[in-house]
Amino acid sequence: MYENRDGIMIGLEVHVQLNRLKTKVFCGCTTDYHNDPPNSHVCPVCLGLPGALPVINKKAVEAAIKVGLALNCRVEEHTQFYRKNYYYPDLPKGFQITQYDFPISSGGYIIIEGEDGEHRVGITRAHMEEDPGRLVHEGTIDKSKYTLIDYNRSGMALLEIVSDPDMRSPKEARRYLDKLRNIVEYLDIFDGDLEGALRVDANISIMGGQRAEIKNISSHKGAEKALLFEIVRQKNVIRRGGIVVQETRHFDEAREITLSMRSKEEAHDYRYFPEPDLVPLKISGWAPAIKATLPELPDARRMRFVEEYGITDDHARALTSELKLAIFYEDVAEKADPRTAAVWVCDVLKGELNYRDMTIEAFKKEHMLSIIELLVSKKITEDGAVEIIRALLDKGGSPEEIVKEKSLLKVEGDIVSIAAAEAIKENPGAVADYNSGKEKALNSLVGAVMKKTKGRADARTAREILLGKLR
């Protein structure tokens, strides 16, 4: 049982951009603006021109239901859109179309790897809304003399997923974010690699005090850092006999601190009312059909990997933590030994990718199959296999070419045997040490063999042959 001595309560509001849709949520503008000039994917609706009216994208509603179901939420019988009235330069209409009473889904949960094993985090609600535009500042927000606005992002479909305050540490918050992102990626509605795809606001309180809301968090790591800072700050306030006030704080990513945003802006009154230009939805009837088409989700896939491929739970967890990685593994495991594949994909390849800040898309599964084949048929050593993977990531080519180029083919037993005999002959000191009980002396003999074979001998084979000769 996890103690949570500081009474930490963390709730997260995660904005997921439904960027796999073809068009925005209320207009026919295309969503593939990421490489295009500013203000080139706009129309009267998403620019907020006078007289333009919104119409809901049906696929966006389906995607929202998908997410709701995947988060074990109830899809509501009646759902509708509201106007949230406030001003900001990125908001073209002076209000945001969002949901308030009657969100599309609510009352779900997800299971994360918590401080004390599996931990359940409640999902308060998941509701639809529109993204505002993007602001560009010259330098920093507080120093810039003007602000530039690009409305390409304006009107992108967002899903705001609000959790219960169930997380008890920054680590759990990060695990929650990882899990959530993992789930929405599995649903094929979201590409997390695109800029601004996932944004987080965090609410945190300690020891039953007031909560602070931290805005401007753009990464999972950032969330963890912001929360760690905030816990220390709140503890210090209490230690000095103060009271933590409810407020909005801004996360300064560069300095890894949170700053109070207390100002007149705090005097918000959003004056929610039902959007008169959109009619209510009655779509709970869609849920069974959508549920039937839900893909296998990360937890289910993890369990299946353990069962079907006989790999460890740790491997299965790591392999299913990213959809693309899981698919890669599964394609390889179908044609090679699944356990060997798990080791090489999970322990080696993934590490090399992370080291280079690359994704699994940078590696061909045919190459992984070739490498495993070379290993299983003992044509290369494990060190050789690692070297091939590194070379493929750094320079490209094919495993066969690299084997040839680097002369990585494993040398045969006879040659190792000859090299071992020579090593014994040339290192009488080491032999004497070994015979007098210093087992470590064997290592220098193995090293000598490897040197003679230019590393192409298998170290374990060399050791066995040496032992045979020394006995």
Alpha carbon of residue 148 to chain centroid: 31
Give 59 or 317: the residue with its C-beta nearer to another protein: 59
Whole-angstrom distance, CA of residue 431 vs CA of residue 16: 66
Q: Give the Å distances, CA to CA, from 393 to 70, 321, 382, 400.
A: 35, 21, 17, 14
Binding flag, residue 30, another protein (CB under 8 A): yes
Q: Which of 267, 357, 377, 428 binds another protein (CB under 8 A)?
A: 267
Q: Tell me, what amino acid is at 465?
A: I
User: Terminal CA-to-CA distance of the chain, rounded, Å?
Assistant: 55
CB of 215 to another protein, least distance (A): 14
Binding flag, residue 288, another protein (CB under 8 A): no
Whole-angstrom distance, CA of residue 73 vs CA of residue 107: 5
Give 60 or 217: the residue with its C-beta nearer to another protein: 60
CB of 162 to another protein, least distance (A): 21
Assess contact for 383 and 455: CB atoms under 8 A. yes
Closest CA to 299 of 124, 126, 72, 123: 72
Binding flag, residue 398, another protein (CB under 8 A): no
Binding flag, residue 21, another protein (CB under 8 A): yes
Q: Which of 3, 5, 145, 357 binds another protein (CB under 8 A)?
A: 145
Q: Candidates 53-61, 104-112, 197-205, 438-446: pick the segment binding another protein (CB under 8 A).
A: 53-61
Question: How many chain residues touch another protein (CB under 8 A)?
Answer: 66
Whole-angstrom distance, CA of residue 391 vs CA of residue 156: 40
Assess contact for 41 and 207: CB atoms under 8 A. no
Closest CA to 84 of 273, 213, 264, 280: 273
Binding flag, residue 148, another protein (CB under 8 A): yes
Give 148 or 289: the residue with its C-beta nearer to another protein: 148
Binding flag, residue 42, another protein (CB under 8 A): yes
Whole-angstrom distance, CA of residue 325 vs CA of residue 318: 9
Give 27 or 212: the residue with its C-beta nearer to another protein: 27
Binding flag, residue 300, another protein (CB under 8 A): no
Q: How many CB atoms lie within 10 A of CB 400?
A: 12
Give 89 or 396: the residue with its C-beta nearer to another protein: 89
CB of 367 to another protein, least distance (A): 36
CB of 287 to another protein, least distance (A): 14
Tell me, residue by residue from 195 to 234, as one string, x for binding to another protein by CB under 8 A and - for no binding.
----------------------------------------
Q: What is the DSSP letter of 167?
A: B
Tell me, residue by residue from 81 to 120, as one string, x for binding to another protein by CB under 8 A and - for no binding.
--x-x-x-x--xxxx-------------------------
Whole-angstrom distance, CA of residue 405 vs CA of residue 396: 13
Whole-angstrom distance, CA of residue 221 vs CA of residue 175: 10
* β strands within 220-345, DSSP E: 247-252, 257-260, 273-274
Assess contact for 280 and 80: CB atoms under 8 A. yes
CB of 95 to another protein, least distance (A): 5
Give 50 or 241: the residue with its C-beta nearer to another protein: 50
CB of 211 to another protein, least distance (A): 20
Assess contact for 262 and 287: CB atoms under 8 A. no
CB of 108 to another protein, least distance (A): 23
CB of 58 to another protein, least distance (A): 4
Binding flag, residue 397, another protein (CB under 8 A): no
Give 38 or 447: the residue with its C-beta nearer to another protein: 38
Q: Tell me, what amino acid is at 286?
A: W
Q: Phi and psi for 405 in degrees, rounded to 5?
A: -60, -40
Q: Which residues bind another protein (CB under 8 A)?
A: 21-23, 27-30, 37-45, 47-61, 83, 85, 87, 89, 92-95, 135-137, 141-142, 144-151, 264, 267, 269, 271, 273-274, 276-283
